[in-house]
Structure 1
């Protein structure tokens, strides 16, 4: 069994978009509706993806707006980013775009492993941002895109597994299943890697 890999992930977004709820759902498997919005918190969780264990440190950041100074700590030793907006808030969608720009400026790279998450997809009646809009934004960044509901454990887990895959891609480590000789392709619509056939 390979040694666990340590990965540090920052969860960023506007206030009240569900960053903490998403993180706690993933780490503890429970939905927390009320949470102190002013604090930054760090969580640890071991997770296995494609036979590789990852020791994750999740930095659940305090909510930011477009005027917040992007903290230097959010660009130091961070391997990947989960950028969260609420599908019920146009303001949070605008802020997440500003955060992404600030992030790239701070990190000094054109691209960093990122998953854009449209949270609160369970609030159908209040939705103002369509999935296509989120997908289009993520595509323009070269990032992965998902919608989630922090109330559902499954989507919270999928979000963090996806950022692990994005980080592995940047490291040049395709998931271990694909290391056997295989013909692979990349879906132009969603960026997913798929296998034609094993050799």
Structure 2
């Protein structure tokens, strides 16, 4: 088996959308029911995807709002971004779009490996953001999209696997010299 690759993923989104719940569900396989605002946590986990072992470093960030300054540390050595909103909150859906804008400004790249995640899809009666709205937004960003429920552990593992695959796809395109440049 090839050497393990190290990858760093940042999980961003509005407060109480389930960033920590999704991360802890993936890393430890358990759902944390209590809400305790995160300042910032880093988790590590080994995972094998398509025969390649990855040493993941997951940066679970503090909830942001539209006025938060995007920390510069979130643009350094990050291989991919998981942007999370709650399907039960219009505000979180608006804020995730603002975070995306700030992210692109900070990183300065047109193509950044991003995964948009609509969390809390187990709360059917409280849903205000449709799956189609999430998909449409992700497509406009050329980002991957998934809905999940950290509580029911529906797709926590798939979210992180897919994020790694997206990051590898983009990185592969850059490494193989597929970039083009025109001089005027």
Bucket of the pairwise TM-score, normalised by the shorter protein: over 0.9
Under a length normalisation based on structure 2, what TM-score does the superposition of the two structures give? 0.92
CA deviations 1:140-191 (Å, max 9, x no partner) are 0000000000013340000000000001101117xxxxxxxxxxxxxxxxxx
Q: CA deviation at 1:35?
A: 4.0
Aligned residue pair count: 173
Does the CA contact (< 8 Å) of 2:16 and 2:63 recur in 1? yes
Under a length normalisation based on structure 1, what TM-score does the superposition of the two structures give? 0.85
Does the CA contact (< 8 Å) of 1:11 and 1:82 recur in 2? yes
Does the CA contact (< 8 Å) of 1:20 and 1:35 recur in 2? no
1:5 aligns with 2:5: yes
Q: Could you tell me how far apart the structure 2 residues matched to 1:38 and 1:157 are?
A: 21
**Other structure's SS at 2:159 match:** helix
Aligned to 2:20: 20
Aligned to 1:195: none
Aligned to 1:41: 41
Q: Which runs of 5+ in 1 are unaligned?
A: 174-199
Q: CA RMSD in A?
A: 0.9
Q: Which runs of 5+ in 2 are unaligned?
A: 174-184
Does the CA contact (< 8 Å) of 2:20 and 2:38 recur in 1? no
- 1:30-179 to 2 correspondence within 5 Å? 30-172=30-172
Structure 1: 4+ residue segments shifted above 6 A? none
Does the CA contact (< 8 Å) of 1:86 and 1:119 recur in 2? yes
